[in-house]
Amino acid sequence: MADFIDKAKHKVEEATGKAKEKTGKATDDRDLEAEGKGDQASSGLKQAGDKVSDAVDDVKNAFKK
């Protein structure tokens, strides 16, 4: 199971990415905007991995009962 700390880190990465993207748009800094989008994409992949890990654990636990 993906632990709480990792999940929290991934959410923070997503929020940071959104902030970078908005700041980049506001300041017309395309590099910062792109970096923010990249952070969000990376976070999304990590969060998807968390969900897969949790689903695998749920299946394992279902067969233990």
Q: Are 13 and 45 in contact (CB under 8 A)?
A: no
pTM of the shown model:
0.83
Instruction: Report CA-CA distances (Å) from 39 to 6, 10, 20, 30.
Output: 15, 10, 9, 14
pLDDT for position 64: 82
Q: Say how far apart CA 41 and CA 35 lie, in whole Å.
A: 10
What whole-number distance in Å separates Cα of residue 32 and Cα of residue 59? 41
pLDDT per residue as tens digits for the range 2-56: 699 999 999 999 999 999 999 999 999 999 999 999 999 999 999 999 999 999 9
For the cut 90, the answer to whether the pLDDT of residue 1 exceeds it is: no
d(CA 41, CA 20): 13
